[in-house]
């Protein structure tokens, strides 16, 4: 299933990278690789996560109410999005259905803009009689900067006195992104654009198009690939839930094309990003 989120944007692109830990310091990844392999699209390994230690956190954050515990196991973040891996442990006789569509997450984080839109997804990765592991995926429109400070995840659990289990931890920054701009007008998606910019992080890619003439390019038909220094070519994924999310609008001035990657990328090994044949050389 493909979900495509399209928004009209009316502000300049502001970018920041966020990562989580109680103290703001990095923590070594400790989650078994096979847990992440159940995440459908994003498949990091511990070896890959060692490339971005300051963007990977294992917060010591949990809460227990009426025998049920919500515990944050691991977070992986960049300037656009955050993956939150967490466990919900309940009594075996609680009658808890981990697949129930009534489960949902509320996520609160500080940003530099109010009222900005975003996308989120909750997935069940593993389940036993009492412990259930979920992956929560959250990102904001990329013209919104995630700010350091407290982040709170709340999981709906009817047997809790408040109806939700909530846990809070601290957010901090470790910006690993790189940005390249083409200084002359070019053609992308059959449209003339001026001064296009590519910002690449280990987790995602954003193409920022200025001075679009006419209709904004059809995002899912725009061809984007990442070429590594060893000659390897990585196509940017465009299928599946939240894969190849594109953000943009009908503005005559600018648009955004936003993609989540399916792996942790060592951006030091990237030679260039090609967007409809336009080369952004890193």
pLDDT tens, 175-204?
888 999 998 888 887 777 778 889 999 998
Model pLDDT, residue 63: 96
Q: Which distant-in-sequence residues (6+ apart) come within 8 Å of 172 by Cβ?
A: 18, 19, 20, 21, 24, 148
Residues 250, 6: Cα–Cα separation, whole Å: 10
CB atoms within 10 A of CB 276: 18
The parts of the chain modelled with pLDDT lower than 70 are: 1-30, 33, 37-40, 101-102, 114-118, 141-143, 145, 173, 210-221, 238-255
Contact 146, 51 (CB under 8 A): no
- The first and second tokens of residue 279, run together, are 């080369």
Domains of the chain (ranges plus CATH)? 19-172 (2.60.40.1630), 178-281 (2.60.40)
Residue 226 dihedral angles phi and psi, to the nearest 5°: -110, 120
Helices assigned H by DSSP within the chain:
33-37, 46-49
- The first and second tokens of residue 120, run together, are 């989120």
Contact 160, 65 (CB under 8 A): yes
Cross-strand bridge partners of residue 111: 146
């Amino acid at each position: 299933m493909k979900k495509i989120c399209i928004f009209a944007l009316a502000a300049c692109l502001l970018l920041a990278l966020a990562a989580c830990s109680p103290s703001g310091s990095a923590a070594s990844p400790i989650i078994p690789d096979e847990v992440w392999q159940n995440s459908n699209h994003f498949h990091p390994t511990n070896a890959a996560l060692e490339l971005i230690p300051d963007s990977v956190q294992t917060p010591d954050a949990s809460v227990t109410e009426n025998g049920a515990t919500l515990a944050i196991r691991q977070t992986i973040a960049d300037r656009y999005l955050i993956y939150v891996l967490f466990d919900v442990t309940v009594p075996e006789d609680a009658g808890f259905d981990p697949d129930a569509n009534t489960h949902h997450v509320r996520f609160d984080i500080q940003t530099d803009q109010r009222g900005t839109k975003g996308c989120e997804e909750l997935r069940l990765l593993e389940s036993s009689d009492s412990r259930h592991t979920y992956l929560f995926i959250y990102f904001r429109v990329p013209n919104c900067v995630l700010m350091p400070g407290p982040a709170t995840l709340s999981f709906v659990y009817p047997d809790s006195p408040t109806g939700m289990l909530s846990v809070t931890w601290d957010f901090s920054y470790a910006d690993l992104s790189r940005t390249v701009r083409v200084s002359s007008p070019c053609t992308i998606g059959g449209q003339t654009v001026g001064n296009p910019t590519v910002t690449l992080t280990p987790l995602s890619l954003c193409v920022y198009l200025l001075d679009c003439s006419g209709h904004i390019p059809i995002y899912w038909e725009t061809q984007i690939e990442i070429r590594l220094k060893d000659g390897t070519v990585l196509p940017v994924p465009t299928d599946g839930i939240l894969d190849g999310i594109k953000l943009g609008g009908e503005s005559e001035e600018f648009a955004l094309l936003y993609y989540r990657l399916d792996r942790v990328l060592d951006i030091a090994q990237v030679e260039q990003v090609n967007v409809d044949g336009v080369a952004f050389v890193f």
